[in-house]
Amino acid sequence: MLLSKCSHDLDIMAWLMKGNLPKTVASVGSVFQFIPEMAPENAGTHCLNNCPAERSCAYSAKRLYIENPQRWANNIWHDSGVSQPTAEEKIRLLSEADNPYSRCVYRCGLKIVDHQSILIAFSDGATGTFSMNGGAAASGRNIHITGTKGEIIGNFESQQFSVRLIKPEHPGGQLSRIVDVSADQLGNPHGNGDQAVVQDFFSLLRGEAASFCCTTLADSMVGHRLVFLAEESREKGGESVRY
């Protein structure tokens, strides 16, 4: 799970701590929510075919993908073989017994964690934490950076960041401002990261300086190694492992 969906989050942490390598990594997590024991009472194995609990289930395929047709549209129908399926075609596709999107989420035999937390100790004494929760009500990313002179709290989806500086002379002892970066994104994927990578590549070809957010292969290796060490720690019951 971490390597598939969270390696870039740890890349950011490693980039922010550039010059200070991790010392130890500890992690815990498990398949806690999406298991048969947590299924609603009388739940079947397939949302559209045999589930009396479908109407009250938060993960009903009918409620998620048919009654809310724009939700996850690129994920669900992309490989269906039907371009812009009608409501009737969607019901037919999801009614197929082997459709992975309409099987009961609690009875899929998931072997990947649905939640995991990581604690990282860096060589300069700083610590970093990361938490992934697959059962959250809304998908998204939040970041909280605490430094010696203030902190930054941000949300990837709102594209707004709160910058708080320690200022004893101000009421409350701090000075805050909101930074809105939405104008820099323009709807580009991954927070404009995809476009920025391409721009940095062309800058390199032209012999120009890369942007401040450009990372080296060594930087990316730190983030990926953190993922593998976190999984090693998790499999050892949260035991701290050396970087």
How high is the pLDDT of residue 107? Answer: 94
Mean pLDDT of the residues in the chain: 90
CB 53 within 8 A of CB 40: yes
How high is the pLDDT of residue 135? Answer: 86
Domain boundaries along the sequence of the chain? 2-33+136-242, 36-107
Q: Six-digit token pair at 49?
A: 């075919």
Q: What is the pLDDT of residues 127-161, one digit of tens each?
A: 999 999 998 888 889 999 999 999 999 998 888 99
pLDDT lower than 70: segments of the chain: 183-192
- 2-33+136-242: CATH topology is Dihydrodipicolinate Reductase; domain 2 (3.30.360)
Rounded to 10°, the helix 7-16/217-235 angle is: 120
Q: Six-digit token pair at 165?
A: 């500086």
> How far, in Å, CA of 225 to CA of 236, rounded?
17
> How far, in Å, CA of 134 to CA of 125, rounded?
30
Q: pTM here?
A: 0.85
